[in-house]
Chains A and B, each alone.
Chain A
Amino acid sequence: MRLFALIYNTFVWGLLTAIIAFNNQWLEMRINIGYIIPVIMFILITAVLIYKKPVIMTVRFTLLNLMSCFLLVYFIIGSKRLTVVPAAIIREAINKTDITFPAINMFLILCLGLGLIVIWLWKPKSSQ
């Protein structure tokens, strides 16, 4: 379960980094910004796994992380672009450009919500 919480939180950070990078037009025009998400996830998960002390991402930490990242994204891109930019990044990353933005947004909300419930139910501890 520690790994699930780690994957969840690093995905949120990966998406946040991708959204920040998206605002750099030079970068956005040259690379598939969506690839930033798995790169960030890989780096952070590897760093946590090789760190000697166990890193526990509790439900409180995860909730605070999700909320602060959401607020940060809201202030960076605004409400109008919020429904387009994250979905466009994910759509381009998975190379499924025919999926609509509302479908991706709904799926993202569902996954983030259910993931949070799973972490809340399991309550990650150092022993797990």
Chain B
Amino acid sequence: MKKVLSLVLTLVVIMALVTGCGSKSNTQSTETNKEFKLGELSDTKTMVVNKDKKEIQMLAQVNGKYLTEDTRHGVVFKEGTNGEKSVLRGMANQNDFYNALLEISAKPGNNISLDDMKLAAESVEGSKLNVFVTWNGLGKEIPFSDILKSNEKRPMDIRFGGNIEAATSLKTGCILCLDSCAVGITSDAAFKANELTLKKQVKITGNPDVLPPDGTKVAVIFRLAQ
């Protein structure tokens, strides 16, 4: 009798597993049939470059993990080695993003080395960028700093750090780092190189009061500051 009951329960678990996976697949296939759109962005067009406006729009996705956990990664390409370590999962490749920044005439700083990441002394240089975020239903663009929660507020100063060689060789996928970085294509000069990890004084998480739920697709807008 017990053996039969155990077998039944095991079957229930297996059925639950299969149903769980199956329902996910159905959801995915429905989503695939109806392509997601957000302004000019879509699942097939994850990055839009506007040379006249000197603007790049990138599709990204909220990672709910960092609504409670702190991180030094703002936006990382989802297939990069750090793809699951950022507040927003970028849907476009970091190398394409770098080339897009060159297209809108941004100048890379290239002033932070990997050795600087051990010192927390240097700030990233390069063209200044104003970064905004929006999503379906929000009806406006909000500054990137608004989607973050920090125990020490410093005005964001996003710079085009460059770092294409490190980005290509390390394949981290880093697009926007929350402190000055030797690998991220862009990073925040308000914090010194790797300061968040080395000094551990400031903790930054996604802001759950502002950001939409885990998995929501958002547009990240990078504008070259005049």
Contacts and interface: CB of A to CB of B under 8 A. Distances in A.
Given A25-B70, A29-B85, A121-B5, A114 B197 contact: no
Chain A interface residue bracket vs B? 20 to 34
Contacts, number: 66
A92 B16 contact: no
A88 to B, nearest CB: 4
A121 B16 CA distance: 20
A26 B85 CA distance: 11
Residue among A81, A115, A118 facing the most chain B CB atoms (10 A cut-off): A118
A118 B6 contact: yes
Interface in A78-99: 80-81, 84-85, 88, 92, 96-99
A65 interface: no
Given A29-B85, A32-B84, A99-B24, A118 B64 contact: no
Given A29-B71, A80-B68, A85-B69, A107 B215 contact: no
Interface in B1-57: 2-3, 5-6, 9-10, 12-13, 16, 20, 24, 28
A111 B64 contact: no
A100 interface: yes
A72 interface: no
B9 A29 contact: no
Nearest to A102: B214
B82 interface: yes
21 contacts: A25-B70, A29-B73, A29-B85, A84-B65, A84-B69, A85-B68, A92-B65, A92-B84, A97-B63, A97-B78, A101-B214, A103-B20, A103-B24, A107-B16, A110-B13, A114-B9, A118-B6, A118-B9, A121-B6, A121-B9, A122-B6
Interface of B: 2-3, 5-6, 9-10, 12-13, 16, 20, 24, 28, 63-65, 67-73, 78, 82, 84-85, 89, 197, 200, 214-215
